[in-house]
Amino acid sequence: MNATLSNGLRKLRLAWLGDPEWEDTYSAREARVLLRMFARSQDILPLWFAVGRLGKSHFWNGVRVFPMPSESLVGSGFLADLVEQQRPDMIVSHLPHDSLLHIRDYLTSRGIPWIHRATEEDANAGHFPPASIVLVPGDGVVGESNARVVPFISGLTGAPHAGAGVADVYESLRAALKEVGRSPRSKADANGACLVMRQHLFCNISLSHVMFELTNSLLELGVPTIPQAQQGDLTPSHIVLEEELYRTGTGDKYERVFKHVHTDYDPEKAITLHFTMLKMGGAYPALSGREALYVTGNAQGASRESVRQLTSSFEKILGVSPFVLWPFVQAGLGSTQAAIIPHGVDPELFNPERRPTAYPTKKRFKFLETSFPWINEKGFDLTIRAFGQAFSSTDDVCLMLRVPCVTDLSKRKQTFDRLETLVRDELSKPRAPEILLVESNVELDRRGGIYTAADCYVHPSRSEGFGMTILEAMACGLPVISTAWAGPAEFVSARWAYPVRHSPPPSQATGNGTWRCMPVEPELDHLVYLMRHVYSHRNEAKALGRKAAAVVRDRWTWKHAAIKLAELFSLPYSSQPSVNNYTGPPT
């Protein structure tokens, strides 16, 4: 669909909020007539936000349809996502008055001109939202309403009333829409396509960090990129805004990303990238441009049916590693639809020269594990047990477990409190070695010091979509003891790390129609051996760590990932060596 006029301006965008096919009433018939008329307009692009409809975006009589679940009206989040993406110049609400109570504050606060199509019952009761225009039955008399009043169409209902002709209502709406004027965002995007990045922004989860770093690298490369945050009522309670940590910890990087959050763009030309971990769920609004899904975590708990639906709904499915794309391959994902975009590190923030973080220990050799405390997946329990078997209180060694703050009480019981119990139980044993459990949030520019304060990084994960902390530790020059399985198998090699032996993987599909993360069980005895080996062969371990840092610097930075992403969608970027042929280090 051509959304640009010959004079370089894009069509004015009219979003119709409601479901004209919901029931065969005069208001539904009226909406169908008007939407068809607007679809034939030369200067207006109608969009139908179809409340109560399921499925993916499609066309109806030339009108683009964006399904919205009925429950999305309880909060403004889903609607807010669509408004942020589609940038309508005016919204027509075609809903009962009680449904509008949940969203009227949002519509009003956004300052978008708003037309409300009142039902006859609402009109008789005097129920009118603070809209710019109200379409009403009869002769348009609505008492004390301060909105401009337009009678709705006559002839579409058996009930006699004065009403107005179809052409009259159509022209009234056209005139009202043109009064909005053409804002700066109505200009066609002279730079062509852009990337729109969709996830929680400036938050305490890895997805937020990944989007932040990728967006910054794309912008540095000159790729038009717009980060957009998911709205508040779509946010799980354990996801916390930590904008201050980004602001104080990244300087120019934060300013660069923040400046582009509200950049205007033409949705018809956008390539929208949804960041997701399938186990987190999430809503993916249907958009009018090209869409891709970027999967960064395993499919634990995701239904096979939902994976099939996602596979058929997106132009491309991107994975942070081949491991996370496996369920999609089983659902029919083809090679032309799939792509691997790995994570990376910022070598300025993660390198062997970063100032070490001070920890309250006098022990000279320090093992470290740091991650969000998903105990089973990350293998915290194995690290604690292996350390307790490998060392005693007389050894000059400490295990540091550093985790971010968990503020959600229910998540805390599942994560930090369990980890604290494991540590307490291990320390209660006779001659137990020293273990420190540190819970803290750290600015981005200080996170490299978490690693350089240690001598070896341990991460015996059972299942991992990628393994960001492993790569960060390698970038900081630490020898790494980790499971070379799933995501980490892409970069944990015996040439520059200490892979832990593990059991064969089980089947990924379960009997109840869901996917599981194909966990393996790292060999505890081998983990004990490797920890003792690194402790006793420190020069060898340091040399391996230096080699790992060089590998990461040369092959696994955010700029490498950004270039692969730009090349995948044929977006121009500033002169850099192509990295799209690189498939990972040899194992």
Q: Are residues 289 and 371 in the same domain?
A: no
Q: Are residues 166 and 210 in the same domain?
A: no
Q: Are residues 338 and 464 in the same domain?
A: no
Report yes or no on 351 lying in a domain: no
249 vs 28: which has the higher pLDDT = 249
DSSP 8-state class, residue 91:
E
Q: How far apart are CA 378 and CA 467, in angstroms?
A: 9
Residue 108 has pLDDT above 90, yes or no: no
Q: How far apart are CA 545 and CA 3, in angstroms?
A: 54
Q: Are residues 386 and 442 in the same domain?
A: yes
Report yes or no on 354 lying in a domain: no
pLDDT at 341: 96
Query: Does an H or E element contain 104, and which?
Result: helix 104-110
> pLDDT confidence of 1, banded at 50, 70, 90?
very low
> pLDDT confidence of 130, banded at 50, 70, 90?
low
Residue 231 has pLDDT above 60, yes or no: no
Q: Are residues 327 and 369 in the same domain?
A: no
Q: How many residues does the chain have?
A: 587
Share of the chain above pLDDT 90, in %: 36
- Of 132, 151, 186, which one is at a domain's C-terminal end? 186
Quick: pLDDT tens for 294-334. 988 876 666 777 788 778 778 899 999 988 888 888 888 88
Q: How far apart are CA 434 and CA 65, in angstroms?
A: 60
**146: CB partners within 8 A, 6+ apart:** none
Cβ atoms within 10 Å, residue 301: 14
Q: How far apart are CA 405 and CA 470, in angstroms?
A: 20
Q: How far apart are CA 384 and CA 77, in angstroms?
A: 41
Report yes or no on 352 lying in a domain: no
User: If you average pLDDT over residues 84-93, what whole number do you get?
Assistant: 76
What's the CA dihedral at 241, 245, 248, 249 to 10 degrees?
A: -130
| CATH value at residue 19 | 3.40.50.2000
Is 279 in contact with 301 (CB distance < 8 Å)? Answer: yes
Report yes or no on 578 lying in a domain: no
Q: How far apart are CA 561 and CA 552, in angstroms?
A: 12
Counted domains in the chain: 3
Bridge partners, residue 12, by sequence:
44
Q: Are residues 409 and 273 in the same domain?
A: no
Q: How far apart are CA 287 and CA 270, in angstroms?
A: 9
> pLDDT confidence of 342, banded at 50, 70, 90?
very high
Closest CA to 561 of 211, 204, 249: 211
Residue 522 has pLDDT above 80, yes or no: yes
Q: What average pLDDT is seen over the chain? A: 77
pLDDT at 146: 40
Report CA Rg, the chain.
Answer: 28
Residue 500 has pLDDT above 90, yes or no: yes
Pairing mode, strands 434-439 and 397-403 = parallel
Query: What is the domain range of residue 419?
Result: 365-553
Our separate counts of H helices and E strands in the chain read 20, 20
Query: Does an H or E element contain 450, and which?
Result: helix 447-452
| CATH value at residue 225 | 3.40.50
Q: Are residues 201 and 133 in the same domain?
A: no
Closest CA to 297 of 467, 480, 469, 503: 467
Is 476 in contact with 354 (CB distance < 8 Å)? Answer: yes
Q: Are residues 105 and 254 in the same domain?
A: no
Report yes or no on 307 lying in a domain: yes
Q: How far apart are CA 265 and CA 368, in angstroms?
A: 44
The DSSP code sequence of 341-409 is ----B-TTTSSTTSPPPP-S---SEEEEEES---HHHHTHHHHHHHHHHH--TTSSEEEEEEE-----H
Residue 147 has pLDDT above 70, yes or no: no
Q: How far apart are CA 140 and CA 142, in angstroms?
A: 6
Report yes or no on 2 lying in a domain: no
Pairing mode, strands 63-68 and 90-94 = unpaired
Report yes or no on 575 lying in a domain: no
* Residue 49 CA from chain centroid, whole number: 22
Among the residue ranges 48-57, 335-344, 404-413, 573-582, the one predicted with the least confidence is 573-582
Cβ atoms within 10 Å, residue 494: 10
- Of 152, 186, 220, which one is at a domain's C-terminal end? 186
Tokens of 17: 């909020």
Residue 179 has pLDDT above 50, yes or no: yes
Is 296 in contact with 213 (CB distance < 8 Å)? Answer: no
Q: Are residues 123 and 22 in the same domain?
A: yes
Q: What is the pTM of this model?
A: 0.73
Quick: pLDDT tens for 36-83. 787 777 777 788 887 766 555 666 776 777 777 666 555 556 677 777
Tokens of 432: 């137990």
Q: Are residues 141 and 227 in the same domain?
A: no
331 vs 159: which has the higher pLDDT = 331
Q: Which amino acid is at 136?
A: V
Report yes or no on 212 lying in a domain: yes
Q: Are residues 138 and 216 in the same domain?
A: no
Bridge partners, residue 522, by sequence:
502
Q: How far apart are CA 228 and CA 455, in angstroms?
A: 39
Bridge partners, residue 509, by sequence:
515
Q: Which amino acid is at 211?
A: M
- Edge-to-edge strands of the sheet including 498-500? 434-439, 397-403, 365-370, 456-459, 480-483, 498-500
Is 135 in contact with 169 (CB distance < 8 Å)? Answer: yes
Q: Are residues 122 and 238 in the same domain?
A: no
pLDDT at 152: 46
DSSP 8-state class, residue 432:
P
Closest CA to 570 of 248, 339, 226, 258: 339
Closest CA to 333 of 322, 344, 342: 322
**62: CB partners within 8 A, 6+ apart:** 36, 39, 40
218: helix, coil or strand? helix
Quick: pLDDT tens for 240-291. 667 777 877 777 898 889 888 767 777 778 898 988 876 544 445 545 568 8
| Class of residue 439 by CB neighbours under 10 A (exposed 0-12, middle 13-18, buried 19+) | middle
